[in-house]
Chain A
């Protein structure tokens, strides 16, 4: 699989602090890529470098095999975390203007806009001033502005903030649809449930360094604790000593719940075999770490 975006050893130094230190990333084409990290980690600095708003002190950015150049801005769509539009401009005029800045002709922009206005059912907004729209409506307009020029790479900084659940869903569907069309989406967020739901790949940045990256599946595999949870009736005895019971607590009915860690050389089947002989099982499952757990754990360890 080819990478749409690669950064190699990016360093960005501001007066007193280093915002990015040797950050290298690879974003495969056609995926949803989550850029994670606590506040002030350097995510926005990295995004600004990719958007050519600022330049790195050293290192390079490769977009689709080419070193980043001014012409590339047409191939990138950017929704900044700090949203904003000209308050006193009309919706239609404003979108035409922004699309033309991205290199579309007025005619092209007009055609694209028609499609989006129908899709989002906002035809009546064309002549409204931005300041007369609600915050959620403004966000929709801004989302249209981001993707109107059909960029190959779409960078969304906290895309769901400020949306009510219905509109957030609408945007989520759009993101998935864009991926279907072969576009790549990088999104930066704190909301781990949306990472869990949407992302194929992630990178975790903390204190100016990339501390973790890869496909979501691989990372989860890496963070697996080899523990399983069971709900059962009876007395849990005669497990081999290698199987460690981490926790055992009674549930409201006669059942109990236990977390059991298995040794690396044992298989799940071994555990089940032991259990079947001793207790009545109601449920059985593997404890898969959530992105939230991974985030907290990794950042916590990194900060120590």
Chain B
């Protein structure tokens, strides 16, 4: 036991002290944060506001169109012909003409633009006019403004997931982002750290130090020590990432949130309706994508997700890294690894494909089976966990994963102990399978 601890210590320290580790540890959260900031920024400021002039002969629609992030409206008192001539010069993107008899003939509304009008703008204007006409007609029918206001109920459907721990409100998009992110991170880290184990084994073999080491320790101890050492490096990196990212996001989201609110307030002023400013600000706050995603994330079971993530990272990593280690032991050079890498990479790559299906249908049969089978479960189950998974499925999947990595470690150890002492020999799969059954 003492020797295996020594090996773990060496493997760990050698890697943690490397410059690349330190760079990645700092760069990781910056990249994640950068990604996050781009999404946030895109949500907030990518929208190009369109200026729309409204020539209203009926006189009923002045100031009735509500400005939003996408469009602002103004109401020049001009005839249609004059307005047509000047609207480009005055910097309008579109011109809406509402004839006098619009209430009786709503289809006579016209939209002019230099280029074609976007579908979104068109439907926006159609909806606003339709709504206004509806109000007017209702009023004509004797229904008062008060009744109409009362009848306007803001329905904002919440998606509620039913799980063992009771009802929780969740946000479909946030859950999807989190689960996709977790699955991808598992996939990438299993590959990165698995390859590190393989490189480490190859280094020892090509350096020929392996013979010195295994005259002191059992090959199995050396392999296990390396695998555990690299796993600890991975965990250290993740914990540092989680801490750093959490810090960055806390700082970042407050900055972004403020920016968003300020922007909405500005657009409200542009609208020339200072009275509405406060309302708009409040609305903006509610609709701020950043804060709403943050709120949704808070409703997820973060401790469960993080602990599942760490478990599946470890499980998946152990399962695959043993096999990567066996490859490292079997070959003499990096180029020879290719033929053996392929069959090992296959299930991981397939897992990512299954994960994409699982994101759309987290409880479908495909998602279920691939999240139970050890070779794909680390990736696919991580997709399902944020959506909520019955506890028995989680237990079964974890149990099988443990059995899976015990199995691969056993096979890998048998290949490893033969391979590390085999120099200058090209091996085939047949050869490898024979090694598994060698004695002593």
Residues on A with C-beta less than 8 A from B215 are 51-53, 73, 76, 78, 80
When A15-B434, A88-B14, A102-B216 are in contact, do A53 and B211 touch as well, CB less than 8 Å?
Answer: yes
B283 located at the interface, meaning its Cβ lies under 8 Å from any Cβ of chain A in the complex: no
Contact A54 B440, beta carbon cutoff 8 Å = yes
Mark out the residues of chain B between 42 and 88 whose CB falls within 8 Å of any chain A CB in the assembled complex: none
User: Which residues of chain B (111-141) have a CB below 8 Å from chain A?
Assistant: none
Which chain A positions have C-beta within 8 A of B209? Answer: 84-86
Closest-by-CB residue of A relative to B417 is A54
Q: Are B208 and A82 in contact (CB under 8 A)?
A: yes
Q: Per a CB cutoff under 8 Å, which of B208, B217, B439, B440 touches A80?
A: B208
A93-101, A115-123, A252-260 - the one binding chain B: A93-101
Cβ-based interface call for B423 (8 A): yes
Contact B10 A82 (CB under 8 A): no
A55 within 8 A of B: yes
- For chain B, residues 1 to 51, give those with C-beta under 8 angstroms from any C-beta of chain A: 3, 6-7, 10, 14
Q: Which residues of A contact B213 (CB under 8 A)?
A: 98, 101
In the assembled complex, the Cα of A98 lies from the Cα of B211 at a distance in Å of: 12
Find out whether the CB atom of B439 lies under 8 angstroms from the CB atom of A53: no
Q: Which residue on A lies nearest to B211, using beta carbons?
A: A80
Query: Which parts of B187-224 form the interface with A (CB within 8 Å)?
Result: 203-204, 207-218
Residue of A nearest to B218 (CB): A70
A57: Cβ under 8 A from any B Cβ: yes
- Give which listed residue, A55, A56, A89, A98, contacts B216 with CB less than 8 A: A98
Neighbouring A residues of B423 by C-beta, 8 Å: 82
- A164 vs chain B, min Cβ distance (A): 21
Render A29-52 as a binary contact track against B, CB cut-off 8 A, 1 for contact.
000000000000000000010011
Closest-CB distance, A65 to chain B (whole angstroms): 21
- Whether a CB of chain A sits under 8 angstroms from the CB of B177 is no
Residue A145, interface by CB 8 Å: yes
Is A18's CB within 8 Å of the partner chain B? no
Task: Assess whether A87 is interfacial by the CB under 8 Å rule.
Answer: yes
B6, B212, B217, B439, most chain A CB atoms within 10 A: B212
Q: How large is the interface on A (under 10, 10 to 19, 20 to 34, 35 or more residues)?
A: 20 to 34
Q: Which secondary structure characterizes the binding site on chain B? A: helix
Residues of chain B lying within 8 A (CB to CB) of residue A114: none
Q: How far is the CA of A212 from the CA of B209 in the complex (A)?
A: 32
Bits for B413-427, please: 1 = Cβ < 8 Å to A, else 0.
000000001010000
A84 lies within 8 A of B6 (CB):
no
Given known A-B contacts A48-B421, A54-B440, A57-B439, A82 and B216 have beta carbons under 8 A apart = no
Given A15-B434, A97-B10, A101-B217, A145-B207 contact (CB < 8 Å): no
A89 and B14 contact, Cβ closer than 8 Å, known pairs A57-B440, A82-B423? yes
Task: Collect the chain B residues with CB atoms within 8 Å of residue A142's CB.
Answer: 212
Contact B216 A80 (CB under 8 A): no
Whether B211 lies near A55 (C-beta < 8 A) is no
Q: Which chain A residues in 244-300 approach chain B with CB under 8 Å?
A: none
> Known contacts being A48-B421, A101-B217, is A80 close to B207, with CB within 8 Å?
no
Q: How far is the CA of A15 from the CA of B203 in the complex (A)?
A: 27
Cα distance A68–B434 in the bound complex, in angstroms: 27
| Structural contact, B6 and A86, CB atoms closer than 8 A | no
Q: Is the CB of B434 within 8 A of A82?
A: no
Give complex CA distance A89, B14 in Å. Answer: 8
Given contacts A48-B421, A73-B215, A89-B14, contact A84 B440 (CB under 8 A): no
Given contacts A15-B434, A100-B6, contact A84 B216 (CB under 8 A): no
Could you tell me which residues of chain A, from 191 to 238, have a CB within 8 Å of some CB in chain B? none
Contact B208 A84, beta carbon cutoff 8 Å = yes
Give the CA-CA distance A57 to B440 in the complex, in Å. 8
Whether B216 pairs with A101 at a CB distance below 8 angstroms is: yes
Look across to chain B and name the residue whose beta carbon is closest to the beta carbon of A142: B212
Report chain A residues within 8 Å CB of B204. 84, 86
Evaluate contact between A53 and B207: CB separation under 8 angstroms: no
Asked if A67 lies at the interface with its beta carbon under 8 angstroms from chain B, I say no
- The verdict on A83 contacting chain B, using a C-beta distance below 8 Å, is yes
CB-CB < 8 A to A73: which residues of B? 215-216
Do A55 and B440 have beta carbons less than 8 Å apart?
A: yes
Given A15-B434, A73-B216, the answer on whether A84 and B10 have CB atoms closer than 8 Å is no
Q: A87 contacts B207, CB within 8 Å?
A: yes
| Residues from chain A with Cβ under 8 Å of B14 in the complex | 86, 88-89
Tell me if B214 and A53 are in contact (CB < 8 A): yes
B426 CB to nearest A CB, Å: 15
Enumerate A61-75 residues with CB–CB distance to B below 8 Å.
70, 73
Task: Find chain A residues with CB under 8 A from B440 CB.
Answer: 54-57
> How many angstroms between the C-alpha atoms of A260 and B210 in the bound complex?
54
Across-interface contacts of A57 in B (CB, < 8 A): 439-440
> Are A53 and B212 closer than 8 Å at their CB atoms?
no
Residues of A within 8 A of B7 (CB): 101
CA distance A247 to B212 in the complex (A): 51
Which residues does chain B contribute within 8 Å of A82, judged by CB atoms? 208, 211, 423
- A89-B14, A145-B212 as given contacts; A97 in contact with B421, CB under 8 Å: no
Q: Which residue of A lies closest to B423 (CB)?
A: A82
Q: How far is the CA of A100 from the CA of B208 in the complex (A)?
A: 19
In the complex, A100 Cα to B207 Cα: how many Å?
Answer: 20
A55 to B421, CA, bound (A): 13
Q: Which residues of A contact B (CB under 8 A)?
A: 15, 48, 51-57, 70, 73, 76, 78, 80, 82-89, 97-98, 100-102, 142, 145
> Could you write out 11 A-B pairs with CB less than 8 Å apart?
A15-B434, A53-B211, A55-B439, A57-B440, A83-B208, A84-B209, A84-B212, A86-B204, A86-B207, A89-B14, A101-B3
The 10 closest A-B pairs by CB, nearest first: A84-B208, A55-B440, A84-B209, A82-B208, A101-B216, A84-B207, A80-B211, A51-B215, A78-B215, A102-B216
